[in-house]
Amino acid sequence: MHFIQRQTYTYTENNHRINKILNKRNLKTALISLELANQPSKLSANKLADSIIPNNNSAFLFSFPHSGRQYPINFVAKSRLDILNLRSSEDAYVDELFSNISQNGGNKLVALFPRAYVDVNRYENELDAELFIEQIGRTAIYNSPLAKAGYGVIARCVANQQYIYNGRISLQVAERRLESHYRPYHALINKLTQSAVDIFGCSLLIDCHSMPSKFSINQAAPDFIIGDLCGKSCSSYVRNVAGQYLSNLGFNVKFNIPYAGGAITQKYHNTQLGFHSFQLEINRGLYMNEQNLEKTKDFENIQNIMNGLAREITYIKPQALIPLHNIAE
């Protein structure tokens, strides 16, 4: 059995490979939305790659990997679940809670495809041996607890261990999804964070999610959880800005337990080089009905609060994020 060491960041990846992924052919197949800071509108898919470098006006990137609601027709047709159950692991409407990121001076990247189809908050080789017809090969992460539980990069299950498929699927299906959606999404994160460091000397990636209102029958979830890999993925100043803003409004804010940060937070940080990231979890009970997935009357209030949080974050001065040795130079 072969184990692959997980990489902590991809900025050392070959630029030619990243640019190849971001060619117009790939991006036309990717269900991805990008709003750049202070730009008038969302970019169409075939303009994403060409626009990032010259138009990146921000060191701040808000990522929404699990809010996608565009379910491919063939995927739904072949699932054993109805659409409501397929959506049960979706971080519904989190992207809509942050409606003014661009106006506040941040970049906003949204996966429009669902996590049940392909999960970009996993490592590319985090494959589930129980899902595929073929053997998954030596490059897979065999010891991934998430993949073993059915929640790998191509999920076998949605929430509450509900099986998506009637049987196994081909690795070719997985490869097509990775090529058309997963790799372009990560290539965009790579370009946006790297260009931010090149331009501003630092970048801050905020990976936005939602969580159930209860972890168990007897354990309620806090209102928010901020995950910074237990202090490793971003400046403590950043964590304190976000946590204090929410605490001052009366919310119950916790750190790192049980969500310290997923693959995106893990991959795109190196504070010594100016790359910062943290994961934000929002209690779904604050803004939606978890049974029918409809927004509640409190949605607009939480949206205003999240827009305020985005504003607080984008007001952070680069000096708080730039490594000291770079400032000295």
Angle, in degrees to the nearest 10, between helices 299-314 and 236-248 = 150
Six token digits for residue 303: 């949206």
> Residues 97, 306: contact at Cβ < 8 Å?
yes
The rounded distance, in Å, linking the Cα atoms of 206 and 109 is 10
What amino acid occupies position 239? R
Please tell me the predicted confidence (pLDDT) of residue 141: 78
Predicted confidence (pLDDT) per residue in 290-314, tens digit: 999 999 999 999 999 999 999 999 9
Q: Specify the residue for token string 């007897």.
A: 218
Query: Cα 130 from chain centroid?
Result: 25
Q: Are strands 219-220 and 203-211 parallel, antiparallel or unpaired?
A: unpaired
- pTM for this structure? 0.89
Q: Specify the residue for token string 């058309």.
A: 180
Exposure b/e, 128-153, CB count within 10 A at least 16 = b: beebbeeebeeebbbebebbeebbbb
Q: Are strands 203-211 and 214-216 parallel, antiparallel or unpaired?
A: unpaired
Helix intervals (H) in the chain: 15-21, 24-29, 48-55, 73-78, 83-86, 94-97, 145-148, 171-177, 183-200, 236-248, 263-267, 299-314, 324-328
Please enumerate in sequence order all residues whose Cβ is within 8 A of that of 271, keeping only pairs 6 or more positions apart, or say none. Answer: 232, 233, 234, 235, 323
Residue from 37, 88, 32, 35 nearest 65 by CA: 32
Six token digits for residue 306: 């999240």
Please tell me the predicted confidence (pLDDT) of residue 20: 55
Please tell me the predicted confidence (pLDDT) of residue 13: 47
The rounded distance, in Å, linking the Cα atoms of 14 and 106 is 26
As a whole number, the mean pLDDT across the chain is: 88
CATH architecture of 15-114+179-328: 3-Layer(aba) Sandwich (3.40)
Which residues of the chain, if any, have pLDDT below 50? 1-13, 18, 24-25, 327-329
Predicted confidence (pLDDT) per residue in 208-256, tens digit: 999 999 999 899 999 999 999 999 999 999 999 999 999 999 999 999 9
Please tell me the predicted confidence (pLDDT) of residue 87: 97
